[in-house]
Amino acid sequence: MSEVDVDGADVESQVAAVVAALRAPASATTAEVEARVEAALGALGIAAPRPVDGGRLSSAALAPASHGTPREGDEGDEHEGDEGDEHHDDGAGDEHDDDGDDDDEEDPRELFWWLAKMAPPTHRRAREPAAPVDADLVARLEGMLAERPEPDEGHAQMAIDAASTLRRAQAVIDEVGVDAPIVAVGDDDGVTLALALLGAKDLFAVDVDPAVLGWLDEQARALGARFEGARADVFEDAPPEGIRGRCVAAVTDPVRNGEECLAFLDYAKACLVEGPAARIFWADHPDWNLELAEVLASLDARGLRLVRELPLLHAYPVSAAWVPDVEAKARALAARGVALRPTTLGALVEHVRGWTNLYVLARR
Ligand SMILES: C[S@@+](CC[C@H](N)C(=O)[O-])C[C@H]1O[C@@H](n2cnc3c(N)ncnc32)[C@H](O)[C@@H]1O
Protein backbone atom coordinates (compact mmCIF):
# COMPACT_ATOMS: atom_id res chain seq x y z
CA MET A 1 0.00 0.00 0.00
CA SER A 2 2.79 2.38 0.91
CA GLU A 3 5.65 3.31 -1.37
CA VAL A 4 8.03 3.74 1.55
CA ASP A 5 9.35 0.87 3.54
CA VAL A 6 8.17 1.63 7.04
CA ASP A 7 9.08 -1.68 8.58
CA GLY A 8 11.88 -1.91 11.04
CA ALA A 9 12.01 1.75 12.02
CA ASP A 10 11.59 2.57 15.70
CA VAL A 11 8.67 4.53 17.11
CA GLU A 12 10.71 7.73 17.33
CA SER A 13 11.60 7.72 13.64
CA GLN A 14 8.11 6.67 12.57
CA VAL A 15 6.52 9.49 14.53
CA ALA A 16 9.15 11.98 13.40
CA ALA A 17 8.32 11.03 9.80
CA VAL A 18 4.58 11.41 10.50
CA VAL A 19 5.20 14.87 11.95
CA ALA A 20 7.31 15.79 8.92
CA ALA A 21 4.43 14.72 6.68
CA LEU A 22 1.98 16.82 8.73
CA ARG A 23 4.30 19.80 8.46
CA ALA A 24 4.65 19.38 4.71
CA PRO A 25 1.60 17.42 3.55
CA ALA A 26 2.71 17.29 -0.08
CA SER A 27 5.85 15.39 0.94
CA ALA A 28 4.00 12.12 1.64
CA THR A 29 0.81 10.33 0.78
CA THR A 30 -1.81 9.71 3.43
CA ALA A 31 -1.29 5.97 2.84
CA GLU A 32 2.35 6.42 3.87
CA VAL A 33 1.32 8.31 6.99
CA GLU A 34 -1.16 5.53 7.79
CA ALA A 35 1.48 2.86 7.32
CA ARG A 36 3.90 4.67 9.63
CA VAL A 37 1.18 5.14 12.24
CA GLU A 38 0.27 1.46 12.17
CA ALA A 39 3.94 0.50 12.42
CA ALA A 40 4.41 2.81 15.39
CA LEU A 41 1.27 1.54 17.09
CA GLY A 42 2.40 -2.02 16.51
CA ALA A 43 5.23 -1.25 18.91
CA LEU A 44 2.86 -0.08 21.64
CA GLY A 45 2.06 -3.46 23.03
CA ILE A 46 -1.65 -2.74 22.89
CA ALA A 47 -3.82 -3.06 19.83
CA ALA A 48 -6.06 -0.23 20.95
CA PRO A 49 -6.83 1.64 24.15
CA ARG A 50 -8.66 -0.32 26.77
CA PRO A 51 -12.35 0.07 26.20
CA VAL A 52 -12.94 1.43 29.66
CA ASP A 53 -16.24 3.05 30.54
CA GLY A 54 -17.87 0.82 27.99
CA GLY A 55 -15.86 1.89 24.99
CA ARG A 56 -14.62 5.42 25.53
CA LEU A 57 -10.96 6.14 25.53
CA SER A 58 -10.17 6.64 29.15
CA SER A 59 -10.52 10.20 30.22
CA ALA A 60 -7.07 11.66 30.59
CA ALA A 61 -6.09 10.06 27.32
CA LEU A 62 -8.04 12.91 25.86
CA ALA A 63 -7.36 15.78 28.14
CA PRO A 64 -8.09 18.72 28.69
CA ALA A 65 -8.60 17.47 32.17
CA SER A 66 -11.07 14.63 32.12
CA HIS A 67 -12.67 15.18 28.74
CA GLY A 68 -15.57 12.86 28.37
CA THR A 69 -15.76 11.83 31.96
CA PRO A 70 -18.17 13.61 34.24
CA ARG A 71 -16.78 14.77 37.53
CA GLU A 72 -17.52 12.76 40.56
CA GLY A 73 -20.85 13.78 41.96
CA ASP A 74 -22.07 15.18 38.65
CA GLU A 75 -25.45 14.20 37.40
CA GLY A 76 -24.96 11.41 34.97
CA ASP A 77 -22.25 9.73 36.96
CA GLU A 78 -24.32 6.63 37.14
CA HIS A 79 -23.75 6.27 33.41
CA GLU A 80 -20.06 6.44 33.69
CA GLY A 81 -19.27 2.92 34.61
CA ASP A 82 -17.06 2.10 37.49
CA GLU A 83 -14.17 4.51 37.85
CA GLY A 84 -12.23 1.67 39.35
CA ASP A 85 -12.44 -0.14 36.06
CA GLU A 86 -10.24 2.44 34.44
CA HIS A 87 -7.22 0.87 35.93
CA HIS A 88 -7.96 -2.75 35.43
CA ASP A 89 -5.41 -5.11 34.08
CA ASP A 90 -5.26 -4.89 30.32
CA GLY A 91 -2.91 -7.78 30.12
CA ALA A 92 -0.16 -5.83 28.40
CA GLY A 93 2.70 -4.43 30.38
CA ASP A 94 0.83 -3.67 33.49
CA GLU A 95 3.04 -2.08 35.95
CA HIS A 96 0.86 0.95 36.44
CA ASP A 97 2.22 4.47 36.40
CA ASP A 98 4.14 4.39 39.57
CA ASP A 99 6.98 6.56 38.43
CA GLY A 100 5.35 9.59 39.97
CA ASP A 101 5.77 11.50 36.72
CA ASP A 102 2.23 11.34 35.58
CA ASP A 103 -0.42 12.53 37.93
CA ASP A 104 -3.37 11.50 35.79
CA GLU A 105 -3.08 7.79 36.54
CA GLU A 106 -3.88 6.95 32.95
CA ASP A 107 -2.06 4.73 30.56
CA PRO A 108 -0.15 7.30 28.47
CA ARG A 109 -0.23 4.94 25.51
CA GLU A 110 -3.91 5.78 25.07
CA LEU A 111 -3.21 9.43 24.39
CA PHE A 112 -0.42 8.44 22.03
CA TRP A 113 -2.69 5.92 20.29
CA TRP A 114 -5.36 8.57 19.73
CA LEU A 115 -2.91 11.24 18.54
CA ALA A 116 -1.37 8.73 16.13
CA LYS A 117 -4.77 7.57 14.83
CA MET A 118 -5.78 11.19 14.16
CA ALA A 119 -2.61 11.87 12.17
CA PRO A 120 -3.78 10.26 8.86
CA PRO A 121 -7.12 12.14 8.85
CA THR A 122 -5.24 15.36 9.67
CA HIS A 123 -2.94 14.69 6.74
CA ARG A 124 -5.82 13.74 4.45
CA ARG A 125 -7.68 16.93 5.21
CA ALA A 126 -4.52 19.00 4.67
CA ARG A 127 -4.28 17.51 1.19
CA GLU A 128 -7.98 17.33 0.46
CA PRO A 129 -9.64 20.12 2.45
CA ALA A 130 -13.32 19.89 3.30
CA ALA A 131 -15.71 22.21 1.48
CA PRO A 132 -14.77 25.84 2.08
CA VAL A 133 -16.91 27.88 4.43
CA ASP A 134 -17.78 31.55 3.99
CA ALA A 135 -15.12 33.52 5.90
CA ASP A 136 -17.60 36.18 6.98
CA LEU A 137 -19.86 33.55 8.55
CA VAL A 138 -16.87 31.97 10.29
CA ALA A 139 -15.92 35.36 11.75
CA ARG A 140 -19.48 36.01 12.91
CA LEU A 141 -19.77 32.59 14.53
CA GLU A 142 -16.34 32.98 16.14
CA GLY A 143 -17.58 36.22 17.69
CA MET A 144 -20.47 34.33 19.25
CA LEU A 145 -18.29 31.40 20.32
CA ALA A 146 -16.01 33.85 22.11
CA GLU A 147 -18.92 34.44 24.51
CA ARG A 148 -19.39 30.74 25.19
CA PRO A 149 -19.10 29.65 28.84
CA GLU A 150 -15.89 27.87 29.80
CA PRO A 151 -16.05 24.20 28.77
CA ASP A 152 -17.45 22.04 31.55
CA GLU A 153 -15.48 18.83 31.65
CA GLY A 154 -18.27 17.42 33.78
CA HIS A 155 -20.50 17.47 30.72
CA ALA A 156 -17.96 16.15 28.25
CA GLN A 157 -17.69 19.50 26.51
CA MET A 158 -14.98 19.98 23.95
CA ALA A 159 -15.57 22.08 20.90
CA ILE A 160 -14.94 21.82 17.19
CA ASP A 161 -13.77 24.92 15.33
CA ALA A 162 -16.23 27.45 13.92
CA ALA A 163 -15.81 26.33 10.30
CA SER A 164 -16.65 22.76 11.35
CA THR A 165 -19.78 23.91 13.16
CA LEU A 166 -20.87 25.75 10.02
CA ARG A 167 -20.16 22.66 7.92
CA ARG A 168 -22.33 20.56 10.22
CA ALA A 169 -25.10 23.16 10.04
CA GLN A 170 -24.83 23.35 6.25
CA ALA A 171 -25.10 19.55 5.99
CA VAL A 172 -28.31 19.71 8.02
CA ILE A 173 -29.80 22.47 5.87
CA ASP A 174 -28.77 20.71 2.65
CA GLU A 175 -30.85 17.76 3.81
CA VAL A 176 -33.91 19.33 5.45
CA GLY A 177 -33.98 22.98 4.33
CA VAL A 178 -34.19 26.21 6.34
CA ASP A 179 -37.89 25.98 7.22
CA ALA A 180 -37.72 22.66 9.04
CA PRO A 181 -37.86 22.59 12.85
CA ILE A 182 -34.40 21.50 14.00
CA VAL A 183 -33.23 20.52 17.49
CA ALA A 184 -29.68 20.24 18.76
CA VAL A 185 -29.42 17.54 21.42
CA GLY A 186 -26.49 19.00 23.36
CA ASP A 187 -25.08 22.14 21.76
CA ASP A 188 -21.84 23.46 23.20
CA ASP A 189 -20.63 23.75 19.59
CA GLY A 190 -23.30 26.33 18.83
CA VAL A 191 -24.79 24.42 15.91
CA THR A 192 -28.10 26.19 16.41
CA LEU A 193 -26.30 29.53 16.05
CA ALA A 194 -24.62 28.37 12.85
CA LEU A 195 -28.02 27.15 11.62
CA ALA A 196 -29.50 30.57 12.38
CA LEU A 197 -26.64 32.26 10.52
CA LEU A 198 -27.43 30.05 7.53
CA GLY A 199 -31.09 31.05 7.62
CA ALA A 200 -32.76 28.25 9.60
CA LYS A 201 -35.91 29.60 11.19
CA ASP A 202 -37.23 27.16 13.76
CA LEU A 203 -34.59 26.14 16.26
CA PHE A 204 -34.46 24.23 19.52
CA ALA A 205 -31.70 23.03 21.77
CA VAL A 206 -31.70 20.78 24.78
CA ASP A 207 -28.68 20.55 27.03
CA VAL A 208 -27.90 19.36 30.51
CA ASP A 209 -25.84 22.53 31.06
CA PRO A 210 -27.90 25.66 31.80
CA ALA A 211 -24.86 27.85 31.06
CA VAL A 212 -24.76 26.56 27.47
CA LEU A 213 -28.48 27.17 27.11
CA GLY A 214 -28.19 30.71 28.49
CA TRP A 215 -25.42 31.49 26.02
CA LEU A 216 -27.33 30.03 23.06
CA ASP A 217 -30.47 31.93 24.01
CA GLU A 218 -28.67 35.26 24.26
CA GLN A 219 -26.78 34.81 21.00
CA ALA A 220 -29.79 33.49 19.07
CA ARG A 221 -31.89 36.44 20.23
CA ALA A 222 -29.18 38.85 19.07
CA LEU A 223 -29.44 37.16 15.67
CA GLY A 224 -33.19 37.58 15.70
CA ALA A 225 -33.72 33.84 15.34
CA ARG A 226 -36.61 31.87 16.80
CA PHE A 227 -34.91 29.71 19.37
CA GLU A 228 -36.15 27.70 22.30
CA GLY A 229 -33.84 26.03 24.77
CA ALA A 230 -34.73 23.43 27.36
CA ARG A 231 -32.66 21.87 30.07
CA ALA A 232 -32.73 18.10 29.82
CA ASP A 233 -30.59 15.13 30.68
CA VAL A 234 -30.79 12.62 27.85
CA PHE A 235 -30.16 9.81 30.30
CA GLU A 236 -33.17 10.64 32.40
CA ASP A 237 -35.62 12.94 30.70
CA ALA A 238 -38.01 12.64 27.78
CA PRO A 239 -38.05 15.54 25.32
CA PRO A 240 -40.41 18.30 26.46
CA GLU A 241 -43.81 18.68 24.85
CA GLY A 242 -42.83 21.43 22.40
CA ILE A 243 -39.98 19.38 20.96
CA ARG A 244 -41.10 15.77 21.20
CA GLY A 245 -42.17 14.36 17.84
CA ARG A 246 -42.07 17.70 16.07
CA CYS A 247 -38.56 18.20 14.67
CA VAL A 248 -37.55 17.23 11.16
CA ALA A 249 -33.89 17.13 12.16
CA ALA A 250 -32.02 16.40 15.37
CA VAL A 251 -28.30 17.14 15.55
CA THR A 252 -26.15 15.55 18.20
CA ASP A 253 -22.53 15.04 19.22
CA PRO A 254 -22.87 12.35 21.86
CA VAL A 255 -20.51 11.26 24.58
CA ARG A 256 -18.23 8.81 22.84
CA ASN A 257 -19.04 5.35 23.98
CA GLY A 258 -21.70 2.88 22.98
CA GLU A 259 -24.23 3.14 25.77
CA GLU A 260 -24.15 6.90 26.18
CA CYS A 261 -24.10 7.50 22.45
CA LEU A 262 -27.27 5.42 22.14
CA ALA A 263 -28.96 7.48 24.85
CA PHE A 264 -28.31 10.65 22.80
CA LEU A 265 -29.54 8.94 19.61
CA ASP A 266 -32.69 7.63 21.30
CA TYR A 267 -33.42 11.09 22.66
CA ALA A 268 -32.80 12.60 19.22
CA LYS A 269 -35.20 10.09 17.65
CA ALA A 270 -37.88 10.93 20.20
CA CYS A 271 -37.73 14.56 19.01
CA LEU A 272 -38.42 13.62 15.38
CA VAL A 273 -41.61 13.78 13.37
CA GLU A 274 -42.91 10.52 11.97
CA GLY A 275 -42.22 9.74 8.34
CA PRO A 276 -39.33 9.37 5.91
CA ALA A 277 -38.16 13.00 5.92
CA ALA A 278 -36.91 12.97 9.51
CA ARG A 279 -33.14 12.90 10.00
CA ILE A 280 -30.63 12.54 12.82
CA PHE A 281 -27.19 14.07 12.32
CA TRP A 282 -24.72 12.32 14.59
CA ALA A 283 -21.07 13.37 14.95
CA ASP A 284 -18.63 10.61 15.88
CA HIS A 285 -15.53 8.70 14.85
CA PRO A 286 -14.58 5.02 15.25
CA ASP A 287 -11.14 5.89 16.66
CA TRP A 288 -12.75 8.02 19.34
CA ASN A 289 -15.92 6.12 20.17
CA LEU A 290 -14.48 2.62 20.30
CA GLU A 291 -17.99 1.14 20.21
CA LEU A 292 -19.14 3.01 17.13
CA ALA A 293 -19.45 -0.22 15.12
CA GLU A 294 -21.76 -1.65 17.78
CA VAL A 295 -23.86 1.51 17.70
CA LEU A 296 -24.17 1.27 13.91
CA ALA A 297 -25.10 -2.39 14.21
CA SER A 298 -27.86 -1.59 16.68
CA LEU A 299 -29.54 1.08 14.53
CA ASP A 300 -31.79 -1.38 12.79
CA ALA A 301 -33.27 -2.61 16.06
CA ARG A 302 -33.96 1.03 17.00
CA GLY A 303 -35.91 1.69 13.82
CA LEU A 304 -33.09 3.72 12.27
CA ARG A 305 -30.85 3.36 9.25
CA LEU A 306 -27.69 5.02 8.04
CA VAL A 307 -28.42 7.20 5.03
CA ARG A 308 -24.93 8.57 4.48
CA GLU A 309 -21.67 9.34 6.15
CA LEU A 310 -19.85 12.63 5.61
CA PRO A 311 -16.24 11.84 6.49
CA LEU A 312 -13.97 14.12 8.49
CA LEU A 313 -16.37 17.04 8.53
CA HIS A 314 -15.36 18.40 11.93
CA ALA A 315 -11.96 19.33 13.31
CA TYR A 316 -10.95 19.74 16.94
CA PRO A 317 -7.97 21.99 17.48
CA VAL A 318 -5.65 19.99 19.74
CA SER A 319 -3.99 22.55 21.92
CA ALA A 320 -0.89 22.16 24.04
CA ALA A 321 -3.31 22.46 26.98
CA TRP A 322 -4.36 18.88 26.26
CA VAL A 323 -0.88 17.67 27.04
CA PRO A 324 0.50 20.32 29.36
CA ASP A 325 3.65 18.44 30.27
CA VAL A 326 5.01 16.54 27.28
CA GLU A 327 8.21 15.74 29.15
CA ALA A 328 6.25 13.89 31.83
CA LYS A 329 4.10 12.17 29.19
CA ALA A 330 7.20 11.12 27.27
CA ARG A 331 8.73 9.72 30.48
CA ALA A 332 5.51 7.87 31.26
CA LEU A 333 5.48 6.49 27.71
CA ALA A 334 9.11 5.40 28.06
CA ALA A 335 8.14 3.57 31.28
CA ARG A 336 5.62 1.68 29.14
CA GLY A 337 8.27 0.82 26.57
CA VAL A 338 7.41 3.56 24.04
CA ALA A 339 10.54 5.61 23.42
CA LEU A 340 9.61 9.00 22.06
CA ARG A 341 11.49 12.28 22.47
CA PRO A 342 9.43 14.94 24.26
CA THR A 343 10.00 17.27 21.30
CA THR A 344 8.62 14.65 18.90
CA LEU A 345 5.57 14.04 21.07
CA GLY A 346 5.13 17.81 21.42
CA ALA A 347 5.34 18.23 17.64
CA LEU A 348 2.71 15.51 17.18
CA VAL A 349 0.42 17.33 19.63
CA GLU A 350 1.06 20.59 17.80
CA HIS A 351 0.26 19.28 14.34
CA VAL A 352 -2.52 16.76 14.88
CA ARG A 353 -6.17 17.72 15.00
CA GLY A 354 -9.05 15.58 16.22
CA TRP A 355 -11.69 14.62 13.63
CA THR A 356 -15.22 13.37 13.55
CA ASN A 357 -17.51 12.22 10.78
CA LEU A 358 -21.16 13.14 10.41
CA TYR A 359 -23.54 10.18 10.19
CA VAL A 360 -26.95 10.94 8.73
CA LEU A 361 -29.72 8.63 9.95
CA ALA A 362 -33.34 8.23 8.92
CA ARG A 363 -36.22 6.14 10.14
CA ARG A 364 -36.10 2.64 8.80
C1 LIG B 1 -21.90 15.39 24.94
S2 LIG B 1 -20.96 16.85 24.65
C3 LIG B 1 -19.78 16.37 23.43
C4 LIG B 1 -19.13 15.14 23.83
C5 LIG B 1 -18.00 14.70 23.01
N6 LIG B 1 -18.44 14.20 21.77
C7 LIG B 1 -17.31 13.64 23.87
O8 LIG B 1 -17.29 12.49 23.59
O9 LIG B 1 -16.81 14.01 24.88
C10 LIG B 1 -22.08 17.80 23.63
C11 LIG B 1 -23.11 18.58 24.42
O12 LIG B 1 -23.94 17.68 25.14
C13 LIG B 1 -24.22 18.23 26.41
N14 LIG B 1 -24.48 17.11 27.31
C15 LIG B 1 -23.59 16.35 27.99
N16 LIG B 1 -24.23 15.42 28.72
C17 LIG B 1 -25.56 15.61 28.49
C18 LIG B 1 -26.74 14.96 28.96
N19 LIG B 1 -26.66 13.93 29.82
N20 LIG B 1 -27.92 15.39 28.52
C21 LIG B 1 -28.01 16.45 27.67
N22 LIG B 1 -26.93 17.09 27.19
C23 LIG B 1 -25.72 16.69 27.59
C24 LIG B 1 -22.97 19.00 26.78
O25 LIG B 1 -23.26 20.00 27.75
C26 LIG B 1 -22.56 19.56 25.43
O27 LIG B 1 -23.16 20.81 25.22
pLDDT digits (tens, 9 = 90+) for 3-20: 455 555 689 999 999 999
What is the distance in A from the centroid of ligand 1 to the CA of 78? Answer: 15
Give residue 253 CA to ligand 1 midpoint distance, Å.
7
**Closest ligand 1 atom to the C-alpha of 263?**
19
Ligand 1, atom 18: nearest CA belongs to which residue? Answer: 233
Nearest CA to ligand 1 atom 5: 255
CATH 3.40.50.150 fits 135-317+355-363, yes or no: yes
pLDDT for the residue numbered 135: 98
Alpha carbon of 8 to ligand 1 centroid (Å): 42
Whole-number Å distance, alpha carbon 38 to ligand 1 midpoint, is: 31
Sequence-distant (≥ 6) Cβ neighbours of residue 349 within 8 angstroms? 115, 318, 320, 322, 323, 326
> Residue 250 and residue 182: Cα distance in Å, rounded?
6
- Residue 315 pLDDT: 96
Tell me the pLDDT tens digit for each residue of 111-131: 899 999 999 999 999 999 999
Closest residue by Cα to atom 17, ligand 1, is 208
Residue 65 makes CB contacts below 8 A (sequence gap 6+) with: 153
Query: Using CA atoms, how far apart are residues 265 and 257, in angstroms rounded to an integer?
Result: 12
* Three-state DSSP state, 81: coil
Write down the pLDDT at residue 47: 61
CA–CA gap between residue 89 and residue 286 (Å, rounded): 23
Rounded distance from Cα 234 to ligand 1 centre (Å): 9
- pLDDT, position 7: 59
Which part of the chain has CATH 3.40.50.150?
135-317+355-363
> Of all helices (H) and strands (E), which one includes residue 280?
strand 279-284
From the CA of 349, how far away is ligand 1's center (Å)? Answer: 24
CA 1 to chain centre: 28
Ligand 1 atom nearest to 62, measured from its CA = 9
Quote the pLDDT of residue 42: 82
- Ligand 1, atom nearest to 155 Cα: 15
Burial string for 5-15 (b: 16+ CB within 10 Å, else e) reads ebeebebeebb
**CA 68–ligand 1 middle distance (angstroms):** 8
Residue 342: strand pairing partners: none
Q: Which residues line ligand 1 (CB under 6 A)?
A: 67-68, 76, 155-158, 186-188, 207-209, 212, 232-235, 253-256
H helices present in 151-232, as ranges: 162-176, 191-197, 210-223
Ligand 1, atom nearest to 68 Cα? 9
**Cβ distance 329 to 339 under 8 Å?**
no
Residue nearest to atom 7 of ligand 1 (CA): 255
Q: Mark the ranges of the chain whose per-residue pLDDT is less than 70.
A: 1-9, 45-105, 156
CA 39, 310, 267 angle in degrees (round to 5)? 110
